[in-house]
Amino acid sequence: MRDLLTILRSILGRNRELVFELARREVTERYAGTALGSVWAVVTPLLTMAIYVGLFAFVFPVRLGEGGSPWFGAALILSGIVPWITVADCATRAPNVLLGHRALVRQVVFPIEVLPAKTVAACLVPQLVGTIVGLSIAFATAGPSWMQLLLPLLWVTQVLLMFGVMLVFSTLGVWLRDLREIVAFLANIGLYVAPIILLPQIIAGLPNFARIIIAANPFSHMVWCFHDATVSHAFVHPWSWFAFPLFAASALIAGALVFTKLKPAMGEAM
């Protein structure tokens, strides 16, 4: 816990403005030279969400709609796919975060913990846009609910989870140069072993082993929490509200431990 508190004090305290500035630069530099520039940070996730929602809520409305309304299926898909896209994007970028800043990592005085933090912050931009769109559809279909007031708590929990994952993968990526490809492959599979496009009525018809795999996936509990708060308006998955914070806390502590223990050897490994 001491290592974790040291890292959090650094990124939330004395280096907070540095994290914000580096995150802003990452968003703008990622699309530098393109006609739309940083607008792609908004357009890309919107197009991705539109494809999934259009395909799985309207092309197959009988399978995924609920109550005969494809818009309910759209709201349910968006409530899960928005946080998942953000987490998957963050995890995929993680292995190259420190490798891409070798000069800074080798500087003894530079607080390298801000590098994973700024990438997490940059990844949140598309989620902000997707959340606005998803909530708008949820309001129009399922209506407002007091459960939606719990969304900020879920967002904070998700950020802590992402930062923990970022610390682990960015640190291990210094030594495991193939980690990015492995994580990208797992992220693609993760879409199909979590209740994102597999909505309740489909999961209910799956074999027992498939339902066990989905329930054992820790990211499934993140998605179920967002389903409950955004669209379901009830604690349909009460155990997920314990499992998701526990998973996030475990990832954060593990990330701080791995990062702190291996930090002294990073410079030589590069």
Longest dimension (CA), the chain: 61
Side chain identity at residue 29, one-letter code: E
What pTM value is reported for the model? 0.89
At residue 232, the pLDDT reads 86
Residues paired with residue 66 on neighbouring β-strands, in sequence order: 69
User: What string of DSSP letters covers 155-220?
Assistant: HHHHHHHHHHHHHHHHHHTTT-TTHHHHHHHHHHHHTTSSTTTS-HHHHHTS-HHHHHHHHH-HHH
pLDDT in tens, 95-105: 999 988 888 88
Averaged over 114-129, what is the pLDDT?
90
Query: Any idea which of 9-23, 216-230, 248-262 has the lowest mean pLDDT?
Result: 9-23
Side chain identity at residue 32, one-letter code: A
- CA 69, distance to chain mean position in Å, is 28
pLDDT in tens, 157-208: 999 999 999 999 999 999 998 999 999 999 888 888 889 887 777 788 888 9
On whether the CB atoms of residues 101 and 175 are closer than 8 A, the answer is no
At residue 62, the pLDDT reads 45
At residue 132, the pLDDT reads 87
Q: What are the tokens at 106?
A: 């080798």
pLDDT in tens, 199-246: 777 788 888 998 999 999 999 999 999 999 998 889 999 999 999 999
Q: Is the pLDDT of residue 67 over 70?
A: no
Q: Of 56-70, 72-86, 231-245, which has the strongest mean pLDDT?
A: 231-245
Gap between the Cα atoms of 43 and 37, Å rounded: 10
Q: Is the pLDDT of residue 139 over 60?
A: yes
Side chain identity at residue 73, one-letter code: G
pLDDT in tens, 21-57: 998 888 877 766 565 666 777 777 778 778 877 776 6
